[in-house]
Structure 1
Amino acid sequence: MSDRARIRLPRRTRERTPEPSAGPRVPGALAQLAVVMRTPARAAQPLFAQAPKAWQRMLPFAVVGVFVVTLLPVTIAVLTNDYALGGGWAGALGVAQTVPLLLAVTRPLHAWAVVLAADTIGGVLLIHADRVAGHAWPWTPMAIVGYLALMACLGLRESIRTLVGVWLVTGGVGAVLGFFQPADTMNTAALLFVLAGVMLALTGAVRGLGDAQQRIAEQESISEAERARRTLLEERARIARELHDVVAHHMSVITVQADSAPYRLPGMAEPVREEFAAIAAGARESLGEMRRLLTVLRGDGAGGGADGERAPQPGIDRLQQLVEATVRAGQPVELSLAAGAAGAAPPAVDLSAYRIVQEALANVVRHAPGARTRVSVTVDEDEVLVLVVNGPARDAVVVLESSGTGHGLVGMRERVRLTGGTLDTGPLPDGGFRVAARLPLNSSSEEPS
């Protein structure tokens, strides 16, 4: 790759990340109806409460209201005129059999208990009615219509086990009343048992379809989010590889030039030779670290990336080399390393301490070149204390780099957070800067990468 190489951002990164699906996209009128009828989220939530439109959410109240307004007077009139039941009993049964339907929109199981009890009492009272012969018994036509409306509400709301129980109880009550059937009456117990089963099956199936579509929509949303996250990670890895290609090229050039300088420039003084050797060694070390990070990003297995993964990570024992390299670059740095500090910390803390000192010294070189710097690392029974303090920049030296993004301090905080420690950074009154990190030795967090 030539010196004019540039990082090319893949086209996919400029595309809009797909947003999670807001709802199921299913064709067909039945599936759309099932979505509207899906099970409410809470126990007392009305039917159709999750429907997208206001008129759909009000539809159950309107339908049940029409049933009550229609069935109430008809029930009273039929019980009074056709069955010759007393006016008081007819009115009470009419109210008890129809008005509880209003409760079916929010609590259909409670409404069913009330209506079934009222219908059962009505069947018992009709045994002694004057004109019950030749009419439907124990369930009147109005009771059957209201009961089927109640079954529809139950089927859209309750579980399959509850629906089966309601259906069996309905058949059981009808069978028990059949032992007291008046003469010359049409027994409607079997009719209601069959019709109730059909209604429960149909509405339960529609409700189940709506629930299934809702679960599919939720899974689609999760899948979309996972795909977006995977795309983002892939693009980050791609950019990292592009960045490696560019930076590795220039670092390789630096290494070759530094290694070949003593041969290209004969008569070079010994200190200058050592300086070029240090530059070449630092460039090679940077290339090695970049290759190890790239191996992690690529997720290579036991192939070419295995050597990079087996290479040891730097730690506190490498701080002396880091400080010496910084001193050779012209930065006065003093290192205070407690006896036994090297190798006393777990790998995650050991690596984090090294990276924090490395980033802090890099910031000093960039923003306060020539400033006297003190590095102190101490280890006790519970924690590692890292302290990097630098004074103000020496004289009026031009800052080597002024385009920092602030990611260095963010990276420090992330490493400290991963080890469960604390970080304190900030300027000093004399114009210097302080970085103080406390890294617990007993943290169970994952090792930073």
Structure 2
Amino acid sequence: MNDTTQTQGTLRSEARIARGGLHRLRQDLFVDAFAFRPMPPLEDAKVSWWVPKGLQHWARWLPHFAVGFFSVCVLLLTFTESYTSGPLRGVLVGGFSLLVAIPPMLTLFRPVGAFWLSLGAFLLSMGAHAFAPVYGTSPIVSSAYPTHLVVMALVVLRTRPRLAVEMWLVTFGVAGVLSVLIGGSDAGDLPPVAVFSGVLLVTAAAVRAWREERRQVVETRTVTAEERGRRTLLEERALIARELHDVVAHHMSVIAIQAEAAPYRVENTPPELATSFATIRENAVAALAELRRILGVVRSADPDAFAESDPEAPQPTLATLDSLLDSVRSAGLNVEAVVTGAPRPLPQGVELSAYRIVQEGLSNALRHSPGADARVEISYVLGGIGLRIVNGPPSRLAKPSPGAGHGVLGMRERVQMLGGEMTADHTEDGGFEVAAFIPVGSAADDAATGGQQA
């Protein structure tokens, strides 16, 4: 009883596998067999390295030209033989030649349909060999099988690897049945022909699978690079948000303290004024609590190379630039700082962003230009502050720096957030230069001065 149940289960499994194979065969070769599937031209990157720029547009269509040339060569066999044949034979050979020559070109637009047309030509050539030896010796009839083999290879390269097995089974299954029915003299040649075709189609399937794997690898690398850039941008924005949280929280705390102390500085404070100050303090405290609740999640470890270890330490400004310069000098970078113009208090957000830009510029110089000299220029002008960080070419090979390469993106985010402009590019001597201008309005100056006085 158990053996019978196991045998029935095995048969059901085999029947399920067979139904699945037949379903895939039907989907691949019968459903929408003549659907329009044009082959796109080659990508520019695949022809840009070996074709002159003026010919790149035409080189993208090189596979189409090659397939068309092959079809034309097959077609020329017809005309050559038609001129040397009688009228009836010329018409028959000409019609058959079209049936043989069209499928290779058709693979560019309707690959599965091209296979069926080519299979029909191949089966007709087998009949011609069996029933009409005169026509069977024709070069165009003899070329039906090689052309069909080329068509099958093109279809595999254009679609999916499993079609190689499906087309091979259909072709030589039908050809084997036909050879038995007609009893042709070439039936004995079918097994070696089938083996040769199988080897060629497996090779084409392997090439197709390799190309598909390469395409997926390129897509994965592209997505990974984009995701890395997006993640770096989000991390930089989170860092900016955390720093802005500290800046805004400081000013809101000052507002709350001043609103609480104001009624005690005036004798006989009117009740309305005391109520207004109390309302101001309540709103400031509520805004501070909401700000901490929303942005507190981004108070994580500082990813910057020279960040303070104490999370409660005050945010750095340009006044603390000397400690940053000492740090990079101790790390091996010879840096010179030049300040032009009259230093003045700036809004805390501008001070912090300027400091971070200088910090990131020097960090990049350390990572990518070891042994080079660097120069930091800070210019206090009427409309804002200018920054320039430039380093020379490296004197030795830079070590790989995993995860680096997006610092310029973070600097640009900071400058654009403050309405400024920034450029970053290589210098003529092989170094690198970052130049930024951050505008500072009078209102921002007043706010900064007021904050410091408070």
Instruction: Give the TM-score taking structure 2 as reference length.
Output: 0.46
| More relative contact order, 1 or 2 (CA 8 Å, 6+ apart) | 1
Q: Whose radius of gyration is greater, 1 or 2?
A: 1
Name the one with the larger helix percent: 2
Instruction: Give the TM-score taking structure 1 as reference length.
Output: 0.47
